[in-house]
Structure 1
Amino acid sequence: MSLESDIRDLWARHEADELDAHAPETHDVLHALLDALEAGEVRAAEKRDGEWQANAWVKQGVLLNFVCHDISAYDYGGVTYNDVLPLQDTSDLGARGSRNTPDGTVVRAGAHIGADCILMSPSFVNIGAHVGDGTLVDSCDTVGSCAQIGANVKLGANTLIGGVLEPVEGAPVVVEDGVSLGAGCRVTSGFVVGANSVVGENTLLTPRIPVYDLVEEEILYGELPPERRAFQRFVESSLGEHDLIDGGAYKPAVVATGLEAETLEATQREEVLRE
């Protein structure tokens, strides 16, 4: 049987309340999934026919790891933490040209960290996440469960990449190759940031906020097209004038324009960090 069929079988037995959560063979399958995720051999979501789609069976396996393991005490830098799984062994990062600085770069089991990556402390990469080659995860960044971060991405300081673990059919947050997110950005609820886009600091990208794409002159939800420069703006709210809101009410929106040459040149400064 394949790993996928093994996970699907465990999930079916779990839903039928027939799963032996502590059986060695159950844990063997679940640990094999974690190993495959860390190696980048399987992913929680993949692009098919131009659309990002979740691999539901992978997310089922991640959830089963929480179901089938008891909470235990572990040591991390002299501090005891309690979880169902130990943190990932990152001792091999240096061999593939990646580095994680001390005092707070936390990578949970089942997360993939590619080659030539930089993880600055403090930062957190959750289970099932995929961080592509050459990507920078800056200080105070969070990469949520099953989030898909492409190659040569810059996550500015204090950036939040949300996780989508449930429902298992839901595609997680995706940041495609070559994207630069400014400090303080937040990307949530399955939003897809298109390749080679540059997003201004403190921008919130979520399907509930419209993206005004001035390149194609259309309003989008849940995605930022590739090759865009995006920034947060505020537009008039349907509340309009209100006695409690002097000057009227406004709601957030994202404006997307074409990339300018000087913007691309600015992102090249990140290469200095890797020389």
Structure 2
Amino acid sequence: MSTLETDIETLWERKQNGEVDAQSAGEDEHATLEAFLSALEDGDIRAAEKRGGEWEANEWVKQGILLNFGLRENRAFEYGGVEHYDVLPLRETEDLGERGTRNTPNGTAVRRGAYLGSDCIMMSPSFVNIGAYVGDGTLVDSCDTVGSCAQIGENVKLGANTLIGGVLEPVESAPVIVEDNVSLGAGCRVTSGFVVGENSIVGENTLLTPRIPVYDLVEEKVIYGELPANRRAFTRFVESSVSDHDLFEGGAFKPAVVATDVEEETLEATEREDALRE
């Protein structure tokens, strides 16, 4: 167990026992909080990691994030010439240029404690929250939000107006995961700890949440809370259990996600493109 992990867990216990709060926290406590945020921004620690093929939350990291809210006082900050109030400032971004990462002006905001990899692009306006991890070569497009603790892999494309939800509490719950080489179409929503498997392509305006079933036509089963790797997914509507109610003339329907093999879909698209060019 690292010294930082031990310090955070000790501070968490003191906070839970009422031994320290925002008013009584001193230099030692704030030094721990600052070291913790710097470790997040450097990518040395993460809110969740894949172990044995499964994503698991690092509870102590989520505790550290909550401590940064609970042991700091609300105060004035300035961003873009506008004064605002928060317990945390935005992240300093002078390290991004040397790693080839771009954050375009007029509206890109990265909160303290967020990690951005090399060769990333953040288009205006977009927002990355505390504890989020954005892998190398990933595009965060206009009007995108990457929520607290969300883990975004390498070479991911988040289409414009995409929402990646945050999962901060409870601390044992894994956040939203988008694995490597995923493409999310414009207007997608991924929430409540949903896992999007690597190399998948998700059609625009698709809602991925554990409450909506995924009809996986590759494995021929219905699953919840994840989209397997190498899938092409899109929204369809299936008959609801209340379809026969008198109020629903013509039947009632609910959303579902249909998943097919991404390689087959890509091949068909390529064949159509070739036909058009002949």
Range class of TM-score, shorter chain: over 0.9
Q: Which amino acid aligns with 2:20?
A: L
1:235 aligns with 2:259: no
Q: How many angstroms does 1:107 deviate by? A: 0.3
Look up the match of 1:273.
none
Displacement after TM superposition at 1:92 (Å) = 1.8
Residue identity in the other structure for 2:37: L
Match of 1:248, SS state, is coil
Q: 1:188 to 1:20 in 2, by over 3 A?
A: closer
The residue type equivalent to 1:2 in the other structure is T
**Match of residue 106 from structure 2:** 103
Question: Offset of 1:262 from its aligned partner?
Answer: 6.6
Distance 1:154 1:171 in 2: 21
Per-residue deviation, 1:24: 0.6
CA contact (8 A) 1:20 1:26 kept: no
The offset of 1:23, in angstroms, is 1.1
Q: Distance in 2 between matches of 1:20 and 1:73?
A: 19
Which residue pairs with 1:157 in the alignment? 160
Q: Residues 10-159 of structure 1: matches in 2 within 5 Å?
A: 10-19=11-20, 21=22, 22-159=25-162
Deviations 1:99-141, CA, capped at 9 Å, x for gaps: 0111100000000000000000000000000000000000000
Match of 1:269 in 2: none
Question: Equivalents in 2 of 1:167, 1:214: separation in Å?
Answer: 33
TM-score by length of 1: 0.94
Listed one character per residue, the Cα deviations across residues 33-89 of structure 1 (whole Å, up to 9, x for unaligned) are 100000000000000010000000000000000011111111111111110011001
Provide the secondary structure at the position in 2 that maps to 1:260: helix
* Deviates most, 21-30 or 187-196: 21-30
Q: Runs of 5+ in structure 2 lacking a partner?
A: 270-278
| Backbone CA RMSD of aligned residues | 1.6
Spell out, residue by residue over 1:204-226, the C-alpha distance to the aligned partner (whole angstroms, 9 max, x if none).
Answer: 00000010111011111000000
Task: Give, in angstroms, the shift of residue 261 of structure 1.
Answer: 6.1
| 2:273 match | none
Looking at structure 2, the residues matched to 265 and 123 of structure 1 have their Cα atoms a distance apart, in angstroms, of: 34
1:271 corresponds in structure 2 to: none
Contact 2:142 2:161 in 1 (8 A): yes
Instruction: Give the Å deviation of 1:264.
Output: 7.9
Determine whether 1:194 maps to 2:206: no
Q: Residue 248 of structure 1 aligns with which residue? A: 251
Is there any run of 5+ residues in structure 1 with no aligned partner, and where? 267-275
Q: CA separation in 2, counterparts of 1:204 and 1:80?
A: 35
2:28 match: secondary structure: helix
SS of equivalent residue, structure 1 residue 74: strand
Cα distance in structure 2, aligned partners of 1:55 and 1:201: 31
Give the aligned partner of residue 178 of structure 1. Answer: 181
| Structure 2 contact 147–167 (Cα < 8 Å) conserved | yes
Structure with greater Cα Rg:
2
Task: Report percent identity of matched pairs.
Answer: 73
Given residue 158 of structure 1, which amino acid in structure 2 is its aligned partner?
N
Structure 1 residue ranges (4+ consecutive) displaced by more than 4 angstroms after TM superposition: none
Three-state SS of the structure 1 residue aligned to 2:77 is: strand
Report the residue type matching 2:182 in the other structure.
V
CA distance in 2, matches of 1:253, 1:262: 19
* Deviation at residue 5 of structure 1 after TM alignment: 0.6
Q: Secondary structure at the match of 2:260?
A: strand
Aligned partner (choices 212, 218, 222) of residue 221 of structure 2: 218
Deviation at 1:20, TM superposition (A): 5.2
Distance 1:164 1:215 in 2: 29
Distance in 2 (CA, whole Å) between partners of 1:223 and 1:241 is: 30
TM-score by length of 2: 0.93
Q: How many residues align?
A: 267
How many angstroms does 1:242 deviate by? 3.0
